[in-house]
Amino acid sequence: MPLNVFKLAVLVSGRGSNLQAIIDSIEREELNAHISIVISSTRDAIALKRAEKYGIKTIFIDPAAYLNSKEYDKALIGQLKKFSIDLICLAGYMRILGEEVIQTFKEKIINIHPSLLPAFPGLNAQKQAIVHGVKFSGCTVHFVDSGVDSGPIILQTAVPVYDNDDEKSLSKRILEQEHYLYPKAIKMIKENQIKINNFLLMELIFLNFIPLIKTLIN
C-alpha cells in the first residue's frame, strides 16, 4: 500500500450497502482510497461479511463489554488511532458518537442520512417524509458534529415522492442515490474540494440541486 494512500475507516451496524458502494467505487478505480478498517457495533452485521470478502480488516467492538458509552468510545478511538485514518465514514452505524470521538477526529467524520437535511433528522426519516406529505425527499452527506444530523452539509441529492409511495418504496429510491452520493463526497474530500465554513460547500450543494430545479420547472 502506498505511503500517501487516503485511508478510510467505515463504521457499521447492519447490512452495509453503503459500505459496498464505497468498495465498488474503489474497485472500479473511481475512488483512490483504501478501507483500512471496518468496525461494527453488532456481532452479526452483514457488513462485516461484505468487508471480509474483499480482505478488509474487520473488528467487532461489543457494547456489552463496556460499563458505559464513554468507555466504549475510548475503545473505538484506540482502534481508529492504530490505522492513522484520514476519514471516518458512518454507514448505517446505529450508535451515537460521543463528544470525545468527535473532538478527537474533528472534521474527519462524515455520515449519510436519508433526507434533505435539515428536514427530518434522526430515525425514520423516510416515514417522516411520507407523513408530512412532502413532494420530494433525498439524501444528505454531512460532517458529524455533537448534534443529531446537524453537521455542515457536503452534498445532497433529491428524489421525487410519489402519491402512491410508502416508506419502503421511498427508502429504496433514496438508497439508490445514497450509493452514488457517498463515494462522490469521499472523493471530493480526498481531493480537498470540501472546506468547512467556505462558500465552496454552498456552491456544490446548489449545483447538485440544478437537475431537481429543472425537473420541477418542466
Instruction: Single out the residue in 54, 72, 106 at which a domain terminates.
Output: 106
Q: What is the pLDDT of residues 80-93, one digit of tens each?
A: 999 999 999 999 99
Quick one: 86 and 117 in the same domain? Answer: no
pLDDT confidence of residue 4:
79
Identify the pLDDT of residue 3: 62
- Pair 154, 189 in one domain: yes
214: cell is 429543472
Statement to judge: residues 26 and 93 lie in one domain: yes
Q: Are residues 95 and 118 in the same domain?
A: no
Burial of 134 (0-12, 13-18, 19+ CB in 10 A): middle
| 99 & 120 share domain | no
Clarify whether residues 75 and 52 are in a common domain. yes
Res 197: pLDDT: 61
Residue 159 has pLDDT above 50, yes or no: yes
71, 106, 141 - which closes a domain: 106
Q: Name the domain boundary from 106, 139, 161.
A: 106
Please count the structural domains in the chain: 2
Residues 99 and 125 in one domain: no
For residues 95 and 117, state if they share a domain. no
Residue 34 a catalytic site member: no
pLDDT attached to residue 213: 43
With 50 as the cut, is the pLDDT of residue 79 above it?
A: yes
pLDDT digits 0-9 by tens, 90-127: 999 999 999 999 999 999 999 999 999 999 999 999 99
CATH of the domain at 13: 3.40.50.170
pLDDT reported for residue 199: 43
Are 101 and 77 in contact by the 8 Å Cβ rule? The answer is yes
Q: pLDDT category, 138, cuts 50, 70, 90? A: very high
User: How would you classify residue 192: left for phi > 0, otherwise alpha for psi between -120 and 50, otherwise beta?
Assistant: left
pLDDT at 215 over 60: no
- Whether residue 26 is found in the same domain as residue 69: yes
Question: Average pLDDT, stretch 151-159?
Answer: 92
| CA distance linking residue 13 with residue 182, whole number of Å | 17
Q: Are 137 and 37 found together in one domain? A: no
Q: What pLDDT digit, counting tens, does each position of 6-60 carry? A: 999 999 999 999 999 999 999 999 999 999 999 999 999 999 999 999 999 999 9
Residues 85 and 122 in one domain: no
The residues facing 90 across adjacent strands are 11, 111
Place of cell 483504501: 34
Residues contacting residue 99 through CB under 8 Å, at least 6 positions apart: 146
86 and 174 belong to one structural domain: no
What rounded mean pLDDT belongs to the chain?
90
Please pick, among 34, 113, 142, 179, the residue that the annotation labels catalytic. 113
Residue-number span of the structural domain to which 196 is assigned: 111-218
